[in-house]
Amino acid sequence: MKKNGLLAAAICCCCMAGAQSTEEIKTLFPGELAVVKEHKVHYTIKLKDGIPEAVSDEQQEILYLSENAGSYMSRFSFYHSSFHPVNRYEAFTETPGGKKIQVKEFKTSQSVSASVFYDDVKQTSFDFPNITPGASGHLEINKTHTNPRLLSPHYFSRGIPTLLGELKISFPKDMSVRYQIRGNDREKVQFSTETRKGETTYTFTVKNQAKDMNYPDAPDNAYYALHAIFWIENYKSGDQLISYMANLEDLYKLQWSFVKDINKSISPELKAITDSITGGLTTAELKARGIYKWVQKNIKYVAFEEGMEGFIPREANLVCNRRFGDCKDMSSILTVMLNYAGVPAYYTWIGTRSLPYDYTDIHLPIVDNHMITAVRLDTGYVFLDGTDSHCVFGAPSGHIQGKQAMIGINEKDYKVIRVPEYAPEKSRLTDTTILELTEKGITGTVKVNMTGYFAMDMQRVMSYTNDKDREKYMKGYFNRGSNKFKLNKFEINENGNPDRFSLSGQFELFDYSKKIADEWYLNLNLFKFYEHKEIDFPKRKTPIEHEYKNSATYVTILNIPEGFKISYLPESKSYKNDVWGFDISYRQEKNQVIMTQTFTNDHLLLQPDKFQDWNKVLENLFPLYRETISLSKN
Amino acid sequence: MKRVLLSLVFISGLTTVLFAQEIERESWAGQPVLHTIDSKYNEESAVIVLDKRRMEYIDVKDELAVYKTLHRIIHINDDKGIESFNRVYLPVSDNSDIVDIRARTILPSGKIIEVSKENIKDLKEEEDVYKIFAMEGLVKGCEVEFYYTYKRNTGFFGAEIFQGRTPVLEARFDLIAPDRLVFEMRPFNSTVKPLDTMVGQKKWLTIVEKNIPGVEEEKYSAYQAGLKRFEYKLAYNTSRTTKDRLFTWDELAKRVYSNYTTVTDKETKRTNDLVGDMKVKDLSSEVEKISATEHYLKTKFTTREDIGGEDAMNLEKVIKSKLASHVGIVRLYSAVFRQLGIAHEFVLAGDRNKFTIEKNFENWNNTDNPLIYFPSLKKYLAPTLPEFRFPWIDPNWGGTNAFFCKSTTIGEYTTAFGEIRVIPLEDYSKSMSNVDAEVSLSKNLDTVLVSISQIYAGYSAAAYRSIFNYNSEENIKLVTKEMIKFGTNSENVISSKVENKDFESFNQNKPFILSAVVKASELMERAGNKLIIKIGDIIGQQVEMYQEKPRQFSMEIDFPHVLERHIRFTIPDGYTVKNLEDIKISHVVTEKGQPTVGFTSTYVLEGNVVKIHIMEEYRKTSYPLSQFEEFKKVINAAADFNKVVLVLEKK
């Protein structure tokens, strides 16, 4: 019984320490290389000169589990910026024996992103010394949040599991702070509140939170990762109750403050450009079309976002001279040009599809990350996104579909309107391949017609490739059957309509069809787009994002060679459920076999409750991918 | 060897002449006009009209300073050109003094827009510092022009690459120095010779090359190594009393030796303690000791080039923090091996993909990659690469010249001298990506059953071992699935198993093996009652060169290797295969009667089992341009095999 006694003592020890041993953690999260043992952030909001200011104390402890941790897991970093300056920080390693080794070298550099050319976000990096399995890295950071309106949501999950996550928010008791919990596993958040000595503290605790799974086709983690959004609703200054971010009006007041002082005058050059575009045009719509096109073509996207530059659009006159700008600058120049031309146009804020929030749910700056221009025509509002150089007038730019827009009418008035989603029948692709069987193999032609986002995407590709790159691109675009596809010739049939695009090409495809004795074998499924596209159901809990709704038809026509007849023709089949479906049909018309496949996607975001039905369609589809036709001698 | 040695680079001996010299200042045309570009460049998005660079060494007080100038004019043809050149990043030194920096756009209308100083921002990204700005007013047909001069950290070596994707109409490189300093300049992939002139007290070395074509990357090529570039080095200082050549390989050897082996008593003591903890002393053979040391250090220590500071070189500190710079980790290995009495030499390797180390042109900057060489074993260890294990090193560091630091001890005194020679790669037969597969049909003939082993050894195994050791279980599952899918086109894995994923197996070159049993319905198609088995999919999709543009570069591969596959296909009862001969594909290139690169697939039919054997081999790393057509046929032979299907008919 000695053994058991020891075990009991060990368990008891653990209980007393109130912590799990490394071995227990390994059992809890098998196969993980590291876990966040503890992540605690405590925000303290106080009034400074009558205005709220927040300070945060953050502590995290990373426990290393991998045997190889020492060789590659020491690197760690954190971020800060002019709105969230870091006051002090400290990091150390705690060895399994309990010894502390301080980090001495920290390096701070600018954090460079692909989309923003220049901003003031900084990254401080360092290495935890002496990392071994069972060692833990501790980091403590104290930051000031100069403008608590810009507080970021707190995430309880990340790429590795978190054993204990805690968010505390302390604030004066006559201040009102609200919160919302978002993402999966909301029920895991335990909330408590207490008020002591004139200060209220909210505590949110999450235990044993699994890691976020990374799927390349998932939307931004704000859609599914567990997080808390919190904000100051109002506070007392003297006897006065000040509304801070209590409602949409408060948010609008903030937004308007960014634009109220800009564009007080319009330069002769910008006037001249606008006049030259709109001269002779009689309707507001035609003028708006012309101005939008000019901005799309002439103003290139380059983003400088240092400090308040991240919020205040630049003067339209400057944007015009420089011929570049970020989204706010494009909104600025569009709005000024349109208004000058007599078309009612407004600065408009919007969150792109990478943010899941609606203004009507949350009235904080985190709801949006983008600016556009809304134009009021007789038919209603049209949304113009200057950053999308190939968006067709009237269509929403792809990344704002379905999102609420906040249209700034004037200092007092604004409207919140939802940008429509573009219906699948508006983005159509029809791809027709005609195949000829020759002794050497297949030769053929392809014709592709596109509308909507298919066409806009293609126009974009065309404008950013030169003739040299285009050949390479087209070889990939036309490719079908196998990688022995050889594109001999292609033609782009431009008709001046940005909402249409068509292409044609001639190719050879050897070793795809098989001729044995007097029989030909050939699989007309030249594309198997959905092969291996089953969703990892039920494990996957994160939605799937599709760029746009669409409908695609692929037609394959085989000319039956002289002296041959069809000896096997696969059956036609269609399968549809509430989520999606397909039609595949085979038919013979004179000396041709015509196979048609149609797929429609009516989802921008496919939620996990639809995954099973999605997979069901694939189950029905896959056997059809393996159907080959055969031709034999007459 | 950049980071270590430059901090120690001496100026002594470069006795300076103390009278005021002005550096050359760059300027641009007061009234710029757009350049007329030949219509042969119409298909290019942009053309670099001028790429002018200048490196000036100048005496400033008692210091030799270096100023670098870059001046470019770019003619923009289309939107892609605008997008490629509207954002400018100019590298500068950390504590740089900017002498001049100006940028402007010249519009077709004749209007000129200069970028104002406040719009030129500083960017610090990791170790690198840049001046960045966006060019204003760009339209098609405009020209972008900028120049800047900044004070650089003093270095006596360099390389300027003048070729890239965009064609260059005129490239010019000037190296200016006080007349006592004799620089040598060497062109690579170019026949242009440097021109020597004296202007006052300054000696100019000038290279001008016109009409440098833009080049694209090609499959199986060492792109950077093939680009036109000019390297330079300081060779003599005529004001010294001795007329010896400067910065020789022997001198590098002395410094390297001293850097890596000079340790304090405390460092030695801590190393002794570490060696005790490692428990390697009693291992019987040298190879075992080396392997165990390497495994210990590579599991417990982190080394990266960006781990800096004195602490990262000091063994006492390194042993405590387990964090080492690249120099620090080599010092540690060496100290441990000295403790263990294992004879070793320091090697600084180049990189076949980027440049070559030349015996007669000592560009120290090209000795980038540290290795430890064991003369008695004639094998190497790569201390900075955790994913490789003795004797396996990054293959791009071998198969090319490297710098060897050989030491000799005479009495108490140890000195070192340098030698340039090739690091031979391990024999082609030891690196393999082999497949062994049993393929049969299920009883009711509705699916294909595959039992497959993917076998990787040598250089080919390095990537897989990294993945399987440095990832969470979850990611490993995903990778396993992808690997199996590659050879079966199926995700329907019944079981799978991994063998010898541990790094210790690497030392002995035990193959890393992934075996799986798979139901691969994707491998079978039906045409009525005929069955089509996609047997070629077992080798996975292969790189193809079916539609190639005229070839520019010679063919280079990462390392010599073989891909040998055994596939046994059981023909179901009652069926016959009509097209077995399709399996036979062969294309082999030979030199002096020996195959150098080839693909051969054959079969024998034994009873109802088709036994397919495929031997694909690449015995060399480099193949001359003259062999391109032959080389292409080998690549395409493998890609063709991937398309082989067997048609099964009822008897």
Q: Which residue in the set A324, A516, A622 is minimally distant from B579, CB to CB?
A: A516
Going from the C-alpha of B316 to that of each of A118, B39, B313, B328, the distances in angstroms are 41, 65, 9, 10
Name every residue whose Cβ is closer than 8 Å to that of residue B142 and which is 6 or more positions away in sequence: B34, B76, B105, B106, B107, B108
**Which of residues A6 and B621 earns the better pLDDT score?**
B621
**What is the residue whose two structure tokens read 């440095």?**
B470
pLDDT, mean of residues B164-170: 97
| Contacts with B474 from chain A: Cβ below 8 Å | 31, 213
Specify the range with the lowest mean pLDDT, choosing from B46-50, B313-317, B339-343, B413-417: B413-417
DSSP bridge pairs for B473: none
Tell me the one-letter amino acid at A269.
E
pLDDT, tens digit (0-9, with 9 covering 90-100), for A549-579: 999 999 999 999 999 999 999 999 999 999 9
| Contacts with B470 from chain A: Cβ below 8 Å | 66, 68, 72
CA distance A198 to chain B (A): 44
Tell me if B527 and A629 make a contact (CB, 8 A cut-off).
Answer: yes
**Which of residues A3 and A263 earns the better pLDDT score?**
A263
Q: Which residue in the set B304, B473, B527 is minimally distant from A30, CB to CB?
A: B473
CA distance B592 to chain A (A): 32
DSSP bridge pairs for A34: A64
- Give first-to-last CA distance, chain B, whole Å: 70
Rounded Cα distance between A627 and A621, Å, is 11
Tell me if A464 and B80 make a contact (CB, 8 A cut-off).
Answer: yes
At A438, list the tokens. Answer: 């020759």
What's the pLDDT score for residue B255?
95
Q: Is A298 on the interface with B (CB under 8 A)?
A: yes
Q: Is B389 helix (H, G, I), strand (E, B) or coil?
A: coil
At A184, list the tokens. Answer: 């999966």
- Chain centre distance of CA A356: 10
Q: How many CB pairs under 8 A join A and B?
A: 178
pLDDT at B17 exceeding the cut of 50 = no
Q: What is chain B's alpha carbon radius of gyration, rounded to the nearest angstrom?
A: 30
Window 375-414 of B: residues touching A by CB (8 A cutoff) are: 386
CB B345 within 8 A of CB B423: no
Q: Is B125 on the interface with A (CB under 8 A)?
A: yes
Q: Which residue in the set B80, B470, B532 is minimally distant from A466, CB to CB?
A: B80
What's the pLDDT score for residue B95?
57
Q: Is B89 on the interface with A (CB under 8 A)?
A: no
CA distance A448 to chain B (A): 22
What's the pLDDT score for residue B85?
96
Rounded Cα distance between A207 and A164, Å, is 5
Q: Is B482 on the interface with A (CB under 8 A)?
A: no
pLDDT, tens digit (0-9, with 9 covering 90-100), for A39-74: 999 999 999 988 999 999 999 999 999 999 999 999
Q: How confident is the model at residue B96 (pLDDT cuts 50, 70, 90)?
A: low
Q: Strands A550-559, A592-601: parallel, antiparallel or unpaired by DSSP?
A: antiparallel
Rounded Cα distance between B595 and B590, Å, is 4
- Number of alpha carbons in the 13 Å side-chain half-sphere of residue B296: 19
Q: How confident is the model at residue B5 (pLDDT cuts 50, 70, 90)?
A: very low
Chain B residue with CA closest to A528: the answer is B522
Q: How confident is the model at residue A538 (pLDDT cuts 50, 70, 90)?
A: very high
Q: How confident is the model at residue B20 (pLDDT cuts 50, 70, 90)?
A: low
Q: Is the dihedral of CA B334, B335, B339, B340 positive or negative?
A: negative
pLDDT, mean of residues B66-93: 94
For residue B533, what is the enclosing H or E element? Answer: strand B530-533
| Contacts with A387 from chain B: Cβ below 8 Å | none
Tell me if A71 and B299 make a contact (CB, 8 A cut-off).
Answer: yes
Helices B326-340, B286-300: crossing angle, 10 deg rounding: 150
What's the pLDDT score for residue B19?
47
Q: How confident is the model at residue A237 (pLDDT cuts 50, 70, 90)?
A: confident
At B224, list the tokens. Answer: 């950077």
Going from the C-alpha of B49 to that of each of A457, B141, B208, B210, the distances in angstroms are 32, 13, 13, 10
Rounded Cα distance between B231 and B351, Å, is 15
CA distance B16 to chain A (A): 37
Angle at B269 between CA B267 and CA B275, to 5 degrees: 100
pLDDT at A3 exceeding the cut of 80 = no
Name every residue whose Cβ is closer than 8 Å to that of residue B575 and which is 6 or more positions away in sequence: B531, B648, B649, B650, B651
CB B310 within 8 A of CB A79: no
CB A569 within 8 A of CB A631: no
| Contacts with B521 from chain A: Cβ below 8 Å | 622, 626
CB B177 within 8 A of CB B98: no
Name every residue whose Cβ is closer than 8 Å to that of residue B375 and which is 6 or more positions away in sequence: B343, B344, B345
Rounded Cα distance between A242 and A240, Å, is 6
Tell me if A33 and B471 make a contact (CB, 8 A cut-off).
Answer: yes
Tell me if A482 and B299 make a contact (CB, 8 A cut-off).
Answer: no
Look at chain B and count its residues: 651
Cis before B511? omega within 30: no
Name every residue whose Cβ is closer than 8 Å to that of residue A42 and which is 6 or more positions away in sequence: A56, A57, A58, A167, A168, A169, A170
Window 213-232 of A: residues touching B by CB (8 A cutoff) are: 213
What percent of chain B lies above the pLDDT cut of 90?
Answer: 88
pLDDT at B14 exceeding the cut of 60 = no
Tell me if B546 and A101 make a contact (CB, 8 A cut-off).
Answer: no
Chain A residue with CA closest to B300: the answer is A70
Rounded Cα distance between A332 and B69, Å, is 38
Q: Is B44 on the interface with A (CB under 8 A)?
A: yes
CA distance B9 to chain A (A): 25
pLDDT at B469 exceeding the cut of 70 = yes
This model's pTM is above 0.95: no
pLDDT, tens digit (0-9, with 9 covering 90-100), for A484-524: 999 999 999 878 888 999 999 999 999 999 998 889 999 99
What's the pLDDT score for residue B562?
98
Q: Is B61 on the interface with A (CB under 8 A)?
A: no
pLDDT at A14 exceeding the cut of 80 = no
The contacts found for A361-368 with CB under 8 angstroms, 24 or more apart, are: A361/A180, A362/A180, A362/A229, A363/A245, A363/A246, A363/A247, A363/A248, A363/A250, A363/A251, A364/A149, A364/A229, A364/A231, A364/A245, A364/A251, A365/A149, A365/A150, A365/A251, A365/A254, A366/A152, A366/A153, A366/A229, A367/A251, A367/A404, A368/A406
Q: How confident is the model at residue B586 (pLDDT cuts 50, 70, 90)?
A: very high
Chain A residue with CA closest to B636: the answer is A484
Specify the range with the lowest mean pLDDT, choosing from A20-24, A226-230, B516-520: A20-24
Q: Write the ipTM.
A: 0.90
pLDDT, tens digit (0-9, with 9 covering 90-100), for B342-389: 999 999 999 999 999 999 999 999 999 999 999 999 999 999 999 999
What's the pLDDT score for residue B197?
96
What's the pLDDT score for residue A2?
35
Q: Which residue in the set B81, B322, B639 is minimally distant from A484, CB to CB?
A: B639
Q: How confident is the model at residue A466 (pLDDT cuts 50, 70, 90)?
A: confident
Mean pLDDT, chain A, whole residue set: 93
| Contacts with B301 from chain A: Cβ below 8 Å | 70-71
Window 323-342 of B: residues touching A by CB (8 A cutoff) are: 323
Window 514-533 of A: residues touching B by CB (8 A cutoff) are: 514, 516-517, 521, 523, 531-532
Rounded Cα distance between B54 and B205, Å, is 10
DSSP A414: E
Q: Is A4 on the interface with B (CB under 8 A)?
A: no
Q: How confident is the model at residue A1 (pLDDT cuts 50, 70, 90)?
A: very low
pLDDT, tens digit (0-9, with 9 covering 90-100), for A381-414: 999 999 999 999 999 999 999 999 999 999 999 9
